[in-house]
Chain A
C-alpha cells in the first residue's frame, strides 16, 4: 500500500466529549457500516460500555476516505484508562483532539493532549457539539489557543451528533496528519498495541507494522517472549474483521497466531519474521503502576484455578492489572490485585464476573504504603491485613498524588474545602481564562481514590474535572481499622486510615455495612476496632420474614422460578463465619455519599 495515502490517528478527549459519537459519524460517512446496522457508539462493543455509556477499551478500525486509508482509534476518556490512550498513540502519527464546545478544556483534555505532544504527534483540534444551544465555540477556541497554543483559526467546529463538519474534519486529517514512514523491504517490525482473548480464535492482537511486511505465510518471532509462532490470519477491522494477504509499513490491523499461552502476546511486544527477521525490538511500553489494590476472592472456593486463568486472559486485554495469590482467614484463597483507580477496579471485577462467569467478592481497596520497621527495614504494604504489629513499626509513609482540578471559578471555595478535609496541600492556583481556574494540590492517594471524584462532581454540578499523577511518599500518622462481623475479625476488610479520621471512618463503615448487608437469620453485630478496641458498632437485625405470600394460583412454575432466582442470588454471597455478604459490598460502601 502507498504509504503516502495512509493516515493513522487516535481520537482523544476528556470523558463524554463525543469521541465515540464522532467515530459513529466517520463510520457512516465512509460507508464502513451500513445505515441499518448502525447504532450509537458503535465501537463500544462491551455490554459494560453500553450500560455505562463510556468507552473502556480503545478500538481501532480502518476506513476509506477520498483515496486515503484511515486507521482510527477511538480511545476512552476516563482518567483510569489513560493507559489505553498512551498505547494507542504508539500506533499513530496524529490525533484528533475533541473538545466539548459547551464545556471547554477539562482535565483529561489537557492530560491527553500532553500525551500526544510527548509522542510528537500532529494535533487536529475540533470543537464538538456545536449543535447544543449552550455551545460557545468562539470562547473555547480562544481558550484552547491560550492554554494549548493551538491557533484558534485552525480549530474545526463539528457536531458529532448531526454530522455537521465531520467531512471537513476528515479532509483536515488527510491534509495535516503526516503519512507514516517505513521501509517495506526492511526486516519486519510490528508492534502489538493491544490483545484480547477470543474463545474461538485464541489470542487476537492489534498490530501496527513499522517496517517490512506481515503476512500469514511466514513463520514469526515474538521478540520479547522469544517464541516462534505460525501466523494463522492477518486482517483489518473495517470494522468487521476482514482477512488480507499482508500488512505493509504504516498499516494497522490484527494478527491471529494460534497462541494459547496468553503471556506470549502482551501489548508492547515486537513481532518479526523468524527467518531473516529484525534484530531490533521496538520501543515497547512500560506497564503502568497500579495505584489501588484490593483482594478479589471467588465466592465459590473451587473457582480459584478458573480465576487464575481468567485473570491471565484479562491481563492480555488490560495489561495494567497486577495480581498475586493471597489467602485470607475470612475469605479463603484469592488474589491481591492492583488497579489504576476505583472505576478500573470496579470494571475489572465486573468483567471477570461477566466474561468468565465468576462470582467474586472485593475487599476494601487500599493504596501501597511504605512501612519503616523499628529494625530499619522498609517494606511495601498494599494489604492492611499484612501490616506488621504496631510495636514493630517506626513510622508509615503513604503515597501522594499531584492533583490538578479544572473548575469554573465560582466553585473554587467549595473545592478548596473538599481538598482541605482530604488532607490536601495547595501548591498553585492558576487562571486558565477569566472564568476558569486550575487548582494544583498535593493529596494523599488514599483520600483521592475513595469518593473524591464523586464529591467533586456533586459539589460543582459536574463542572469540575480532575487529573492526577503519583508524586512520592510522605510520612503520616496512620492506623489500621479492623472490622468484626458477628464478633469475628474479618482480616480482609481491615483498612489503613489517618488517625484523626479513624473514628469517623469506623462509624461510617459500620453504618454503610448495616445498610448493605442483607438481614440474616440472626442479629449480626458489625464492629470497627483499632488494636482490639471497639470504636464503632451497628447491628443488622435478624430478618423475620422472607416468605412469598401467594402461591399464584395454579402458576406453580412462577413460584419455583422465584425460589431458583433466590438460590442464584445466594451464590453471589460470600459466607464469613455464618454471615453472608454480597460480593460488591465494599465497592458500594465507598460509593455512597457522605
Chain B
C-alpha cells in the first residue's frame, strides 16, 4: 500500500458563533456558499490529487450547506478503496435525508458536535441545540447506514457540575458511538469567552472530569489512543492520526492547513479571498513554513507523546517524570496523570 495521504475540506459557515470558538468561520456570509463550494471543486480538480486514504470535511458547519452540492465536491476527490470519509455535523441540521445523501456519496463516518447532553450546559456554551436533537441525529445516522460515528464533547462549561458531566458521558455512551473526542473547554484568545474570566474553567475541575471520562469510557471498551480521543479498537480516526503522525495532507478552502514533506502551509483566511484566488487561477496559500530537520524531529515527538504508542525511551528523562510516564524499555508512554500534564512532559523531550 502507498503512503497515506489525506484531504481536508473547510466549510467556513455557521448559524451562530459559539462564545468559546476561535475557528475560521462566519455567520454573515451565507450568500457565498454556492460560490464557495464551486471554488472548492475547481481547486480540487486543478490540483491533480493522487487517490487519497482519508477525507475530512470540517468547519465551521458542513451541514449548513446544501448536502447534494457538498457531496459533489467530495466526489471530485479521488479516493483509494476503503478510504475513510468523515463529515462533521451539527445536531440541529442532521436529517435522515441528509444522511442518505452523505451515505450515497461515499461518506462512511460522521463526527457529531454534541458537546454536552445537559441543557443548561449547552446554553452556557451558547450552543443552539438541545439534547433531544442529538438523539434524533444519531438515529438518522444509524438509519442511513453510516457505519461509524464520533461524538465531540466539551467539559468544563460554566455551571457544569461533575454530575452533569457524568450525565453527558453516560448518555453519549448510550448512543453507542465507536469513537468519542472529549475536549477540555479551552480559552482561546480573542473569543467572547476569553473576555469573561468568571466563566473560565478551573484546572482541578477539568482534571477530575478528564479522569471521570477516562474511567467511564474505558469501562465500555472505548480505549484512549490520544490525549482527548477514545475509540473502539479499529475505529480510531485515520485522518486525525495522519495529522499526529506528521503525514502528508492537503487542505482545501479558506484557512485550511496542508503538510507536504516537512513543509507546512495554510490558505487565505476569508472565504472571499479564497474564492477570488481560485477564480483568478492563483495559489490559495497565505503563508507557510519549512521545518528544519530538528524542528521536524521535535514536532514529531511532541505529537507522538500525546498518542498511546508514546515516544522512544531515549526521548525523555524518565527519572524526572515519576508517575507521569511508564516504559517497557523501548517506548515511553504517558500515564493518565501524565496525559493531564503532557505539556510539562513535552517540555522535557529531547
Contacts and interface: CB of A to CB of B under 8 A. Distances in A.
Contacts of A519: 203
B257 A548 contact: no
A559 B289 CA distance: 14
A560 B228 CA distance: 17
Interface string B77-121: 000000000000000000000000000000000000000000000
Given A521-B341, A549-B228, A567 B303 contact: no
Interface string B242-269: 0110100101000011110000101000
Contacts of B347: 563, 566-567, 570
A377 interface: no
Contacts of B204: 541, 544-545
Contacts of A563: 302, 343, 346-347
A557 B264 contact: yes
Contacts of B339: 547
Nearest to A550: B183
A546 B302 contact: no
Given A550-B183, A554-B256, A556-B299, A545 B266 contact: no
Interface in B163-215: 183-186, 203-204, 206-207, 210
Interface in A539-594: 541, 543-551, 553-557, 559-560, 563, 566-567, 570
B197 to A, nearest CB: 15
A17 to B, nearest CB: 34
Contacts of A546: 203, 340-344
**Of listed B8, B58, B258, B264, residue having the most chain A CB within 10 A:** B264
A549 B183 contact: yes
B305 to A, nearest CB: 10
B266 A555 contact: yes
A548 B258 contact: no
Interface string B1-23: 00000001000000000000000
Given A549-B227, A560-B299, A543 B343 contact: no
B266 A551 contact: no
Interface footprint category on B:
35 or more
Interface string B291-331: 00001001100110010000000000000000010000000
Bin chain A's interface residue count. 20 to 34
B257 A547 contact: no
A554 B343 contact: no
B240 interface: yes
Contacts of B259: 554, 556
A21 B157 CA distance: 47
B343 A556 contact: no
Contacts of A567: 347
B295 to A, nearest CB: 8
Nearest to B289: A557
B184 A543 contact: no
Interface string A40-54: 000000000000000
Contact of B203 (A545, A548, A553, A554): A545
Contacts of A521: 324, 341, 344
B343 A548 contact: yes
Contacts of B246: 556
A551 B240 CA distance: 9
A575 B292 CA distance: 31
B210 A550 contact: no
Contacts of A554: 8, 243, 249, 251, 256-259
Given A521-B341, A553-B8, A559-B302, A544 B258 contact: no
Contact of A547 (B240, B299, B343): B343
A545 B302 contact: no
A555 B207 CA distance: 25
Contact of B243 (A549, A553, A570): A553
Contacts of A566: 343, 347
A277 B251 CA distance: 76
Given A554-B8, A556-B257, A570-B347, A547 B264 contact: no
Most central of B226, B251, B303, B343 by chain A CB within 10 Å: B343
A521 to B, nearest CB: 6
Interface string A517-544: 0010100000000000000000001011
The 6 closest A-B pairs by CB, nearest first: A544-B207, A554-B257, A547-B342, A549-B184, A549-B183, A545-B207
20 contacts: A541-B204, A544-B207, A544-B337, A544-B340, A545-B204, A545-B207, A546-B341, A546-B344, A547-B227, A549-B186, A550-B186, A550-B228, A551-B240, A553-B257, A554-B8, A554-B259, A555-B257, A556-B264, A556-B303, A567-B347
Given A546-B342, A550-B186, A557-B257, 18 more contacts: A541-B204, A545-B184, A545-B207, A546-B203, A547-B227, A547-B306, A548-B186, A551-B303, A553-B8, A553-B243, A554-B8, A554-B256, A554-B258, A554-B259, A556-B246, A559-B302, A559-B303, A563-B346
Interface of A: 519, 521, 541, 543-551, 553-557, 559-560, 563, 566-567, 570
